[in-house]
Structures are given as C-alpha cells and as structure tokens.
Amino acid sequence: MNYRINEIFETLQGEGVFTGVPAIFVRLQGCPVGCPWCDTQHTWNTDADKQVAVAELAKKTAADDRWAELSADDIVAWFERNGYRAKHVVITGGEPAMFDLQPLAEVLEKRGYRLQIETSGTFPLQVSAATWVTLSPKLDMPGGYLVQPENMRRANEIKHPIAMQKHIDALDQLLQQYPVADDVVISLQPISQRPRATELAIATCIERGWRLSVQMHKYLNIE
C-alpha cells in the first residue's frame, strides 16, 4: 500500500484535544471537498506531473502541490532518518480518509506510535481501533460531499470551524441528526482567528461546556 504524501514534518499539534503535544504530521495529497477557507489548498489535486521522487520531496522548504508515493515502511524510514522524537502521528491532508490507513496504522502502532486522523467525515474511515478520530464536519461545501453518520459515531472529537452563528446552528442540526458518543469532545475553532468568530466561539463554549480550539500554531507562527 502506497500513500500520496505532500509533506512530513515534526512540530507541535496546534489544534483540538492534543494542542501542545509534540507530533509528526503526515500530510496526504488529494481532497475534493473544496472548503473555501482551507489553508492547504495546494493538497487538493493529484496531478501526475506534480509527482516527484521521495528525495526531491524531502528537499521541500515551502508549501506546494508536489507529492510522492511512500509505503508505510518508507514513512517510518523518513521518521528515523530525520531523527524525529515525537510518538504522536497526525494523519492529515487533503482528506486522509480517501486512503486505507489500516496498513499504515499497523506498522506505526507496532513501533509505539499513537495515531490521530483529521478528517472532514465525508469518506468511510479505514483506521485502526486505537486511532483517535478528529472529525471536522464540512457541511454544504462546493464539492457536495456529505458527512457520513457512521463517522459521527466513530469520532473521538468533533472540531468545528465557525465564523458566525449559522455555523453553530448547522452543527446543532448535524448532532441532532447523527448523535455522537457521550464521551466525544466537542470544540469550536474560529476560522482564520477572526475576532468576532473568536468571541462567538468563546461565548458558546462557556454556555455549553464545549472546548475552544484556537490554532495555536498560527499564533506562534510555526508549521
């Protein structure tokens, strides 16, 4: 099983439950959902002429749409070659649920890594039982994909980007339609750190006992 990789890097997780935790990010290439505010739009397309060798991918110093195919063993070798110390691995994208992640999870978990996937919830999840699923539901996006009810039931964390009240209302409707487990963490994440969105998120989190996700990495200006 090979995976289309846009980049791999070690940093701190900046969002959600694991904010501040040292993490290795494995960013996959490809996503048809089309979120207008997406800050990784360079991962949407998988043009054949953008495929490069692993050695060239390793030289990337800025975000772009080049990608390479790596196996699970190749990914572990990348970790070891770069001396990464983090044991928390975040599979992100793009939309990582477009891939069967179980072979990757098997290889990484045997080596002592904990996996987290960040997904829109619009594709069937193929992950290990131990994988932490962070579902950031994408509703009424240009791609026309729907959040799947089985993904809501599987989610460990619902992390919802908001800019205005209608986004909270849409989440309420989704949660009513597709209930989640009692122990699921629900957090609101202001889109692009907009002040009004942040104020709304804070007020709503206090009122409902939810959490605030503030994209710490953007405030710290780290990857």
> What are the binding residues for Mg(2+)?
40
End-to-end CA gap in the chain: 28
Helix (H, G, I), strand (E, B), or coil: what is residue 98? helix
> What are the binding residues?
12-14, 27, 31, 35, 37-40, 92, 94, 136-138
> What are the binding residues for [4Fe-4S] cluster?
31, 35, 38
The Cα–Cα gap between 17 and 117 comes to 12
Helices (H) and strands (E) in the chain, counts: 7, 9
Distance from the Cα of residue 120 to its chain's centroid? 8
> What are the binding residues for S-adenosyl-L-methionine?
37-39, 94, 136-138
Pairing of strands 22-28, 88-92: parallel
Show Cβ contacts of residue 193 under 8 Å, excluding neighbours closer than 6 positions: 214, 215, 218, 219
The Cα–Cα gap between 133 and 127 comes to 9
Retrieve residue 189's tokens. Answer: 């994440």
